[in-house]
A = this chain, B = another copy of it.
C-alpha cells in the first residue's frame, strides 16, 4: 500500500465527510419541501376526497415497485374500502426537530369484509447504525382480520407477537434479550419456520405492515450521528487526515439473524416508493389511469355534474392532463 498504482491524495474519510455535507443539505431540502407542500397536500386531499376510489386507482397505476406488491386479493380490499392515504414527515411536524426522512404512512378504510381496523398507520424512522448503515426502520403493525380473511396467513400476527415479546424482554432485562442476540425463542423459531415455508415473493401487500428493518435503536442512531459529527469536526480542524474513526469500521454483525425474522424484505423500498413517488405524483398517476380508460365508461367517473351539458367534454381530458410526468428523481 505504500506505493499505490495511481497516486492520489484523497482519502476515503474525505469523500465520506463530503458526502455527509451533501446529506446535511439534503435533509434541509426535505424539511423545506415538507413545509412548502403541506398546505398543497391538504388542499389536494379536499379535492380527491370527492373522487371515488381515488387512492385505490392511484395505487393500481403506481410504478412496479408498488404495484408489484399488490396482489389481486389486496386489490379487492383496496378498491372496496380504501378511503384515504396520507404521508407525513412526522418527526418535523408541529415544530419537531427530528429527522425529516422519517415518514408515517396512514391508510383509512371504510368498514369492509376483511378487517376491523378503520385506520392503519405505519411509521418509519430514519436511523444510522454504528456500522455506517442508514435507512428506514419500523415496528410491526397488526391488523384485526375477520375470521378466515387474513391475507397474510397469520404471518403478520406472528411478527407482532415476536416484537412484543422482544420489547417485554428488553424492558425486563435492560436490553440484554434483544432481537438477534443468542438463541431464538419458541415464537421467533415458529416465525422463522413460517417465513421459510411461505417464501417472501408472494406476500400480500398487507404483510408490509410487519416490516421491521434493521434493529437500530434511536439511542444507537443518536450516538452514531453525534460521533460522526465529532469526527468530522476533528478532521476539519486537523491538518492530517489520519483516521480517528476505528469505531465507524464496526460491521453490523447481526444482519443474518435479522433477515430470518423479516417478513417483508422490500419494506423500506416500498415505503420510499409510496412517500417519494406515489404521494407527490398522485394526481399524475390518477390522470394516467383516467387517460388509459378514456374510451371506456370510467372517463365520466369524475366529470363535473355541475355543468349539466356536453359542451367541452371532449376536450376535458386534454385540458386537464398534466404536461409530463413529474420528475421522479431529485437529490441535493
Which A residues fall within an 8 A CB radius of B? 1-16, 18-19, 21-23, 25-26, 28-30, 32-33, 36-37, 40, 43-44, 47-48, 50-52, 101, 128-129, 131-135, 240-243, 245-246, 248-249, 251, 272-273, 276-277, 280-281, 283-284, 286-287, 297-298, 300-310, 312-313, 315-324, 326-332
Question: Within the complex, what minimum Cβ distance (angstroms) separates A129 from chain B?
Answer: 8
Residues of chain B within 8 A (CB-CB) of A276 are 327, 329-331
For A29, give the chain B residue with the smallest CB separation: B33
Residue pair A322, B40 in contact (C-beta under 8 Å): no
In the assembled complex, the Cα of A18 lies from the Cα of B248 at a distance in Å of 46
Could you jot down 17 A-B contacts, CB within 8 Å? A2-B310, A5-B298, A9-B306, A10-B51, A16-B319, A18-B44, A21-B40, A28-B36, A29-B32, A32-B32, A37-B332, A129-B323, A131-B318, A241-B304, A248-B319, A272-B329, A326-B331
Task: Please list the 8 inter-chain residue pairs (A to B) with the smallest Cβ-Cβ separation, ordered nearest first.
Answer: A12-B320, A134-B323, A330-B330, A280-B331, A16-B320, A4-B300, A276-B329, A8-B302
Contact B19 A283 (CB under 8 A): yes
Given A1-B310, A132-B323, A25:B7 Cβ within 8 A: no
Asked if A322 contacts B19 (CB within 8 A), the reply is: yes
Q: Which residues of B contact A16 (CB under 8 A)?
A: 319-322
- Contact among B30, B280, B313, B330 with A1 in the assembled complex (CB-CB below 8 Å): B313
Kindly report which residue of chain B lies nearest to residue A281, judged by CB atoms: B331
Tell me the smallest distance from the CB of A86 to a CB of chain B, in Å.
16
CB of A224, distance to nearest CB on chain B (Å): 9
- Asked if A321 and B132 make an inter-chain contact with CB atoms under 8 angstroms apart, the answer reads yes
A323 B277 Cβ-Cβ under 8 A: no
Partner of A301, one of B6, B21, B317: B6
Q: Considering the chains assembled together, what is the distance between the CA atoms of A37 and B19 in angstroms?
A: 12
A312's nearest neighbour on chain B, judged by CB, is B243
What residues of B have a CB within 8 angstroms of the CB of A277 in the complex?
A: 329, 331
A329 and B329 in contact, given A32-B29, A315-B243 (Cβ under 8 angstroms) = yes
A284 CB, min distance to chain B CBs, angstroms: 7
